[in-house]
Amino acid sequence: MVNRSTPPQSSNPEKPDKAQAILAGALPVFTKHGYAAASMDRIASAAGVSKPTLYNYFQDKQGLFIALIHQLTQNNSQLILSLPTEPDLQTPPEQVLRQMATAVLEEFANNPALLTLMRLIIGESERFPELAQTHVREIIKPLMERLSLYLASQPQLKLSDPVVAARIFTGSLVHYLIIQNILHGSEILPLERDRMVNGLIQLLTAGEAEGAV
Amino acid sequence: MVNRSTPPQSSNPEKPDKAQAILAGALPVFTKHGYAAASMDRIASAAGVSKPTLYNYFQDKQGLFIALIHQLTQNNSQLILSLPTEPDLQTPPEQVLRQMATAVLEEFANNPALLTLMRLIIGESERFPELAQTHVREIIKPLMERLSLYLASQPQLKLSDPVVAARIFTGSLVHYLIIQNILHGSEILPLERDRMVNGLIQLLTAGEAEGAV
DNA sequence: GTCTATAAGTCGATAGAC
DNA sequence: GTCTATCGACTTATAGAC
């Protein structure tokens, strides 16, 4: 079960590694068929290599899948965390939050690989619970902490619990994406993106409007 | 690929159908392994029938899976819609909403099959998009409409957009379940259920506290 | 129970770099 | 010549379907 022939050092950053080519070829196969139904033959041909080469770079199917998800997680971690690095503490929070929400929804709309990653991680969360946890640790948790800190730094919002508010903000957007995009519900349960964002922002910033205290 | 031998009418509601036994046996196999990795052999032995019997009652693996998800959808549709049939318009909305939220989270906690169904539907939403859409149509949409109507009937909440508020309410809870339970994030990103519910209710009912207008 | 297809994973030979 | 990445062909097991 364990294959410990020396994998041709995949940590050589000089030439565009063949491991990268394999991962790039594996991505669409896994995302289209799911883990179990993705065959190593298909992945090999998609990557333009032979099957033994696959096994030269990755121990087995699981190892390849784990490496792929980890890479995607890394990419998206950097991507997500690079967006609202240090929101202007000057600009009004409703503007910052609206920018964040719109940016997230647009990013997911323009980059279907993100939706795919979400679907894969959820779908395979029983087979690969450690991958799901890695995703929580590397992406969701930093995002949530950042958002909580920002919300807590805006006392005029009068949010009683910024941690929960961050969950509500993120959860509403993720759930919107799940229904509209992943579950293909946009015709069955239509809801304009701007309407969703506006309603969400209004709810979160309603405390501000509370009289002139 | 298409099998049109007469299936012993599985639409006979008289005798506790053998189709029911097959579906009951198939459920844990599909939920544990996912669609692709669930084998008909395993399903047959789990259901206590022979493999030809499977194919006697269901056209093929796809047909069996679709029938299973449809049945689960039906069950949960009735279950979910039976809960807050006609919330007392007397009792204060924060109490009604708290009851709803707690009931939903407890129902999912006590009934892991619901989480499993959610995961299956999301995970197989590319392979079976029509199942995902059925789920939206039969469960999510009625739930959302009911909730929107209730929220709209409570003008003192001052919700500018009850439709979006219903999404936020549901989305926050679903996202909470996804992170804590499906992605196994309860240790990585802990958040007490009551704290989540309280924060959510507080945000939705904050408009009420708005001064004495 | 049987049949056929296809899956994951392996092996011996090859071919190019130094 | 040696070393090593590569590949076509193969084995074994197990899948779906009847």
Of A32, A127, A144, the CB nearest to B189: A144
DSSP for B91-109, written as a single string: S-HHHHHHHHHHHHHHHHH
Per-residue pLDDT at B82: 62
CB–CB contact A203 B204 (8 Å): yes
State the alpha helices, DSSP H only, in A38-160.
40-47, 51-57, 61-82, 93-110, 112-123, 129-135, 141-152
Of A167, A178, A204, the CB nearest to B196: A167
Does the pLDDT at position A14 exceed 50?
no
Per-residue pLDDT at A211: 53
CB–CB contact B32 A124 (8 Å): no
How many angstroms separate the CA of B41 from the C1' of C7? 16
Instruction: Work out the pLDDT band at A17, boundaries 50, 70, 90.
Output: confident
Angle at A29 between CA A116 and CA A15, to 5 degrees: 100
Element (H, E) at A176: helix A162-177
| B contacts of A186 (beta carbons < 8 Å) | none
CA distance A15 to chain B (A): 35
Footprint of strand D on the protein (CB under 7 A): A 6, 8, 18, 49-53, 56-57; B 1, 3, 38-42, 51-52, 55, 60-62
Q: How many residues does chain B have?
A: 213
Of A32, A136, A206, the CB nearest to B188: A136
Per-residue pLDDT at A90: 80
Per-residue pLDDT at A15: 44
Per-residue pLDDT at B69: 94
Q: Distances in Å between the alpha carbon of B197 and those of A167, B83, B104?
A: 11, 18, 11
How many angstroms separate the CA of B18 from the C1' of C4? 29
* Count of beta carbons in the 10 Å neighbourhood of residue B110: 8
Per-residue pLDDT at A31: 92
Give the nucleotide nearest to A56 (CA→C1').
Answer: D5
Nearest residue by alpha-carbon distance to C1' of C6: A39
Mean pLDDT, range A3-21, rounded to an integer = 57
Per-residue pLDDT of chain B (213 residues; tens, 9 = 90+): 344 434 554 444 444 588 899 999 999 999 999 999 999 999 999 999 999 999 999 999 999 999 999 999 888 887 766 655 566 678 899 999 999 999 989 988 888 888 999 999 999 999 999 999 999 999 999 999 999 999 999 999 999 999 999 999 999 999 999 999 999 999 999 999 999 999 999 999 987 765 544
Q: What is the distance in angstroms between the CA of the first residue and the CA of the last residue of chain B? A: 68
Mean pLDDT, range A179-207, rounded to an integer = 96
Please report the domains of chain A, with CATH numbers, ordered by start residue: 1-59 (1.10.10.60), 69-207 (1.10.357)
pLDDT tens-digit series, residues A153-168: 999 999 999 999 999 9
Q: Give the Cα separation of B95 and A208 in Å (integer).
A: 24
Q: Give the Cα separation of A26 and A20 in Å (integer).
A: 10
Per-residue pLDDT at B17: 81
Phi-psi region of B87 (alpha: psi -120 to 50; beta: other; left: phi over 0): beta
A7 or A38, which is more confident: A38
pLDDT tens-digit series, residues A108-137: 888 888 899 999 999 999 999 999 999 999
Q: Give the Cα separation of B106 and B99 in Å (integer).
A: 10
Q: What is the distance in angstroms between the CA of the first residue and the CA of the last residue of chain A? A: 69
Per-residue pLDDT at B209: 66
How many angstroms separate the CA of A29 from the C1' of C15? 30
Does the pLDDT at position A11 exceed 60?
no
Q: Which of B61, B97, B159, B203 to mutate to test the interface with A (most CBs of A within 10 A)?
A: B203
Does the pLDDT at position A46 exceed 60?
yes
As a whole-number percent, the residues of chain A with pLDDT over 70 amount to 86
